[in-house]
Amino acid sequence: MARNLNLSQCISEALHLEMERDPQVLVIGEDVGGQGGVFGATRGLQKKYGSGRVLDTPISESAITGMGVGLALEGYRPVLEIMFVDFIGVCLDQVYNAIAKNHYMSGGKVRMPIVIKTAGGCIGSGAQHSQCLWGLFAHLPGLKVVAPSNPYDAKGLMASAVESDDPVVFIEHKGLLLKRAEDFTFGSDVPAERYTVPIGKANVVREGSDLTLVTLSGTVAPSVTAAEEALKKGISVEVIDLRSVVPLDMDTVAASVKKTGKILVVDEDYLSFGLSAEVVTRLLERKISITSVKRLAVPDVPIPGALSLEQEVVPNERSISAAIAETVGKA
């Protein structure tokens, strides 16, 4: 049976199912228990599974992530919540020097089946509360990096993340977390039972022949809308939702660009040294011929406070439409 669910409901449902399935699954973080998460994405878990398995912590992210390491070494599968991805700077050490590397440093002896669950993306609130940062995690070896665009995927990807023996950074877009179920144009029909969406497999959300638009997370929906608009102008846009930055499903992207010859990467993260250049370069390494390339991302500036400034730098339907037109040479 499929129901109309929003993203936070899906995340919490996935966690319920994982905690039920596997007693080793724990949820640890600020406000995840009594409150059920500041976005409600862990609602009901503490009531059902107790305050041992669903632990509200002090504001101590180094302790949260570090204890995740110890718990993983004890055979648990901790889901660690860092409320906003912006706060990762206080505890990145445990994430990239321990969680990401312990499997390797131990010569495969230990595993770190840890989910770093966090909220990213811009919904206002300025430079320290609006970042995506998946490009940062992706640069650091040993981490899988997932960012779903819709409730269906969120539930299935979270199930995959929790059952993965690898560390997964799971970035939920705040805008999507706050979006009502009925406002999702795709992926809000969600089965009640457990299912998985594999990590590393992109989703062709919309087929097209003139241009490949690669994106993920919060910019998938506006990209689809922009693609619909573009069609009215005779431009057929294929929209690919990457679902994860690591692994990066270049097979799907390459197949599309082979067809269209044109690539536009729409990325709500910072432009440089991130996702967009990696996608483009891997296409080149695969010797895919590209006739037009464009990147639309936050232009290497912090996210400003005022809406009038924010709209200028964060990709949205308007700027995506403009970028589509530019990429196909109809700007």
Partner 1 sequence: MAQEITLKDRYGYMLWMRHFELACLEGVPTREIHGELHTGVGQEAISAGMVGFLSKEDAMCSTHRNHMHAIAKGVDLRAMLAEIFEKSTGICGGFGGHMHIFDPSLKFSATGIVGAGVPVALGHAYAARLKGNQAVAVAVVGDGAVNTGAFHEAMNMAGALSLPLVVVVENNEWAISVPFSASSATETIAERAPSWRAHGIRVNGLDVEEVANAFEAALARARSGKGPSIIEAMCYRFRGHFEGDADMYRSKEEKERRRSEDPLERTKETLVARGLATLEELNEIEKSVVASISEMLASVRKDPSPSGADATRYVFAE
Ligand X SMILES: Cc1ncc(C[n+]2csc(CCOP(=O)(O)OP(=O)(O)O)c2C)c(N)n1
> Annotated catalytic sites, by residue?
129
List % helix, strand, coil for the chain (3-state, nearest 5).
Answer: 40, 20, 35
Report the 10 Å Cβ neighbour count for 231.
14
In angstroms, the Cα distances linking 326 to 227, 228, 329 are 13, 16, 5
Interface with ligand X in residues 258-277 (CB under 6 A):
none
192 is an interface residue for a copy of itself by CB under 8 A: no
What are the start-end ranges of the E strands in the chain?
2-4, 25-29, 54-56, 77-84, 115-120, 144-146, 168-173, 189-191, 203-206, 211-215, 237-241, 244-246, 262-270, 292-298
Q: Are 267 and 219 in contact (CB under 8 A)?
A: yes
Give the interface segment with partner 1, choosing from 82-90, 188-196, 223-231, 276-284 (CB under 8 A).
Answer: 82-90
Residue 153 interacts with ligand X (CB under 6 A)? no
At residue 3, the 3 state secondary structure works out as strand
C-alpha distances (whole Å) from 41 to each of 16, 36, 37, 154 are 10, 7, 6, 11
Binding mask 271-310 for partner 1 (x = CB under 8 A): ----------------------------xxxx-xxxxxxx
**Which of 17-25, 32-40, 91-99, 196-204 is the region at the interface with a copy of itself (rule: CB under 8 A)?**
91-99
Show the site string, 214-253: x = touches a copy of itself by CB under 8 A, - = not.
Answer: -------------------------------xx-x-----
Footprint (CB under 6 A) of ligand X, residues 44-83: 59, 61, 83
Q: Give me the residues that bind ligand X (CB under 6 A), please.
A: 30, 59, 61, 83, 87, 90
Which residues of this protein are in contact with a copy of itself, per CB under 8 A? 62, 86-97, 100-101, 104-105, 126-128, 135-136, 138-142, 245-246, 248, 270, 272-278, 280-282, 284-285, 290, 293, 295, 298, 300-302, 304-305
